[in-house]
Structure 1
């Protein structure tokens, strides 16, 4: 029986695309007027900004240092102050009687504002925000800290997230069971770990 769940935030508890156009409007405009400062397609970049940490996206599309710095100036103090709707099946998570931790990567002010607007602050034992720009922290380090600080064996923890290359990879490196939450059917050909599309399916892995 699992004693703890570790959940990701973006595209795991809610759809980031539901707020992306409004949230990143200024950033999208900055990228649009500086189209010679990165490689690749702007629409692809917009999609990835809603799925991955900005530092990863900037590297992926060979963004110039100048554009990267200007983008950071926009993002570091960005917040979202309108209501956000979680995925409808999120209520299933609260029905599970075990410790729950939220571990997300991104800009702290922005990620904190998302949590606040979702109204989920009290659903978790602890909330961790991994600032991949200003620190060298990683989700793997946070997972290790949770195991140590709360005295869990790896067999007692389950990680749920939408990104096989982030929280799922970190969990697998530590020997923690992991599940890809593929609400948006983005990983049709991914079979390295179990996948679910609804939190009601978690009961099969506890």
Structure 2
């Protein structure tokens, strides 16, 4: 019996965020720019917008001291927009899909946007459960969701593998709960110093799963 489970991040772990069509979000970024102009200069705004393509919203806003109340109206875009994305998983996702371990998806982002990504990627059925942490609604740490997974599924932390690109988010949360953490170093991802293992694609997971099998 295989008691191992895998918790996965979405953005730049399962698919490359840079492949999203930026024109789909023109209206949102135009509105966001208008909101930010109240307290931020053009250089700061450019940095914020560029970083939002590669970093979680909560990370970017905290880094640049963006007040959520200042920009909330811009996020109304995601309540009504019909978001159609032409995106695909990384090619090595097929290996992840083929292995028997139970998988959970835990992603941070605007709920309707993350749902649109998941739908476009056609990966809904690959996971036991999917959790979306929307920082505009409830900016809780991933560790709280990880605890929920442990409790609801009666899992051992020592047999849970957390795989993601962000050392300050899912990797830190996994370490806090004594899970096995794996940072995936996709293109342009900066290597952290706090993961138990480092891989470049999902195929490299096999040896890690094998040596940690109880």
Give me the TM-score of the superposition, normalised by structure 2: 0.85
Counterparts of 1:78 and 1:176, CA distance in 2: 38
Q: Does the 8 Å CA contact 2:84/2:116 hold for their aligned counterparts? A: yes
Displacement of 1:27 in angstroms is 2.8
The residue aligned with 2:128 is: 125
Render the CA deviation track for 1:32-61: whole Å, top value 9, x for unaligned.
455453255344323321233323322322
The residue aligned with 1:98 is: 101
Structure 2: gaps of 5 or more residues: 210-214
Displacement of 1:94 in angstroms is 1.0
Between 93-102 and 28-37, the greater mean CA deviation after superposition = 28-37
Displacement of 1:110 in angstroms is 1.2
The residue aligned with 1:168 is: 171
User: Residue 53 of structure 2: which of 42, 50, 55 is its match?
Assistant: 50
Aligned-residue CA RMSD (Å): 2.2
User: Residue 85 of structure 1: which of 85, 88, 93 is its match?
Assistant: 88
Displacement of 1:80 in angstroms is 2.7
Give me the TM-score of the superposition, normalised by structure 1: 0.88
Structure 1: gaps of 5 or more residues: none
Q: Does the 8 Å CA contact 1:8/1:103 hold for their aligned counterparts? A: yes
The DSSP-based 3-state class of the residue aligned with 2:92 is: helix
Counterparts of 1:10 and 1:23, CA distance in 2: 17
The DSSP-based 3-state class of the residue aligned with 1:24 is: helix
Render the CA deviation track for 1:155-190: whole Å, top value 9, x for unaligned.
1100001111111111011111111111113214x3
Counterparts of 2:162 and 2:8, CA distance in 1: 6
Counterparts of 2:68 and 2:138, CA distance in 1: 18
The DSSP-based 3-state class of the residue aligned with 1:186 is: coil
The residue aligned with 2:212 is: none
Displacement of 1:192 in angstroms is 2.4
